[in-house]
Amino acid sequence: MKRFVARCTPWGTVQTGDYFLRLTDSEKSAVLAHERAHVRNRDALKRLWWVVSLRVVFDPQWVFARCRGQEFAADQYVKQRGMAAGMRSFLRRFPQPASALHPGSKERLEALDG
Ligand SMILES: [Zn+2]
C-alpha cells in the first residue's frame, strides 16, 4: 500500500500514492504542481546530497530550514500557476502537523495567503 498522497524522487519523477485518489480535481492539479516544483528545483536531489555529505548530521538546523523553505517555494510555484485554491482546499481537508523538515498545513496556508 502506498500510504502517501504524492512525492517526488531524486531522479526527477513524481509518484502518486493511494491517498491521491481522495482528492478533487483541483486539489490533484495543485498537488502535482507542487511536486513538479520540487522536481524543477531538484529538491529531492539536494536533500539526498545533504544526507550523503553528512550535512544533516553536522548542521541539522541548516538542513531543516532549507527543507522547510523548499516546501514554501513549491507552494508559491502552485500559487503563481493559479492553483492556490486547490492547494488551500487540500491543506484544509487533509491537515498535516509541522515537523522539523516540513511546515504544517497552518503555516503553509498562512504563507499562501501572505
Ligand atoms: Zn513538498
Sorted by where each begins, the domain ranges of the chain are 6-113
Cell numbers for 16, please give them. Answer: 502518486
The whole-chain average pLDDT of the chain stands at: 96
pLDDT in tens, 55-109: 999 999 999 999 999 999 999 999 999 999 999 999 999 999 999 999 999 999 9
Banded pLDDT at 114 (limits 50, 70, 90): confident
Residue 36 CA, ligand 1 centroid: distance in Å: 9
Residue 41 CA, ligand 1 centroid: distance in Å: 11
Residue 27 CA, ligand 1 centroid: distance in Å: 14
Cell numbers for 87, please give them. Answer: 492547494
At residue 58, the pLDDT reads: 97
**What is the number of H-type helices and E-type strands within the chain?**
6, 2
At residue 39, the pLDDT reads: 97
What element of type H or E holds 7? strand 6-8
pLDDT in tens, 8-48: 999 999 999 999 999 999 999 999 999 999 999 999 999 99
At residue 46, the pLDDT reads: 96
